[in-house]
Amino acid sequence: MKIVVAIKQVPDRDAPIRIASAGKWIEEADLQWAMNEPDAYALEEALQLKEKHGGEVVVVSAGPERVATTIREALAKGADRAIHIVADDLGSRDALGVARLLAAAIQPENPDLVLTGLQSEDMGLGQTGVILAELLRLPHSTLILHVEKTDAGLRVKRELEEGWFQSIEMPLPAVLTMQSGGNKLRYATLMGIKRAKTKELRAVNAAELGAGPAPVVVLEQITLPKKQKSTQILSGSPKEAATALVEKLKTEARVL
């Protein structure tokens, strides 16, 4: 069973974020970078499937040279080999443009299963994996917490709203976007880190895969959220005020 996992390198959660002078993206100099968390869960699911059923796990990631460190992390955790799509202009590509790059790299692999994270922690669009499935012309499902191999294909567990779940039978090959929290993430062992240095990491220039059309979606500006304080006086009896307060905490503050 050949499984391809698409991963993305994103700014570390604790990294100090500054908006670049042009106002169109963040200042990337001196940032710390990490593997996108939902993609880490996709990788973990792929590794567990490989341990149960055998096969190969291939990691694919697009981005500049620094992305190689995140790819090596995936190899250290147990992936067998990797493809690095070297693209210095990844930030200017929309979800369709990124999916086109991934599809061009993945299609020759002829995988049985493609896993991606549900969304990236920097952009949060949740579109790349779904568009990738369309480009590869494969069935797909989203919000996946667990994957089970069956004789007919797959049985997947989807997370729905308000604590509900859904089980679906799917054929192979397929594309799945994984939700965070379905498994416990593993750490790279010292032996895994040593082995990663000898595993295949093939670099492919994005230009070789085709630039594709101009972006459909263009990011015009980003801003920091405004910090503001306000005071509201709730009128009525104590019971009425308490009821109104609970409602505001649920619908406006969303803390209940």
Whether 217 is in a domain gets the answer no
Count how many domains the chain has.
2
pTM to 2 decimal places: 0.83
Res. 70: pLDDT tops 90: yes
Whether residue 238 is found in the same domain as residue 119: no
Residue 213 is predicted with a pLDDT of: 65
Whether 24 is covered by a domain: the verdict is yes
Q: Do 59 and 91 fall within a single domain?
A: yes
Per-residue confidence (pLDDT) for residue 222, from 0 to 100 = 84
148 and 249 in a single domain? The answer is no
Residues 111 and 64 placed together within one structural domain of the fold: yes
| 252 and 195 belong to one structural domain | no
* 25 and 149 in a common domain: yes
DSSP helix/strand/coil, 129:
helix
In a domain, 169, yes or no: yes
Distance CA 70, CA 33 (A): 8
The pLDDT of residue 212: 66
Query: What whole-number distance in Å separates Cα of residue 171 and Cα of residue 152?
Result: 7
Q: Residue 221 domain-assigned?
A: no
Mean pLDDT of the chain, nearest integer: 91
Predicted pLDDT at 33: 92
Query: Among 3-7, 53-57, 235-239, whose mean pLDDT is lowest?
Result: 235-239
Could you tell me what percent of the chain has a pLDDT over 90? 63
Higher-confidence position of 103 and 216: 103
Higher confidence at residue 162 or residue 214?
162
Residue 237 and residue 201 share a domain:
no
Give the chain's length: 256
Is 214 contained in some domain?
Answer: no
Q: Are residues 127 and 22 in the same domain?
A: yes
218 in a structural domain: no
Q: What is the CATH number of the domain that holds 186?
A: 3.40.50.620
* Exposed/middle/buried for residue 153 (C-beta within 10 Å: 0-12, 13-18, 19+): middle
Using a 10 angstrom Cβ sphere, with 0-12 exposed, 13-18 middle and 19 or more buried, the burial of residue 86 is: middle
Mean pLDDT for the stretch of residues 231-239? 87
Are 131 and 244 members of one domain? no
Confidence of residue 161 (pLDDT cuts 50, 70, 90): confident
- Average pLDDT value for residue range 117-132: 91
Lowest mean pLDDT among 33-37, 58-62, 89-93: 89-93
Same domain, 238 and 164: no
Residues 198 and 230 in one domain: no
Same domain flag for 183 and 122: yes
Q: What does the alpha-carbon distance between residue 123 and residue 96 come to, in Å, rounded to a whole number?
A: 13
Q: Has residue 247 been placed in a domain?
A: yes
**Is 18 among the domain residues?**
yes
Structural domain containing residue 39: 2-209
- Binned at pLDDT 50, 70 and 90, residue 196 comes out as very high
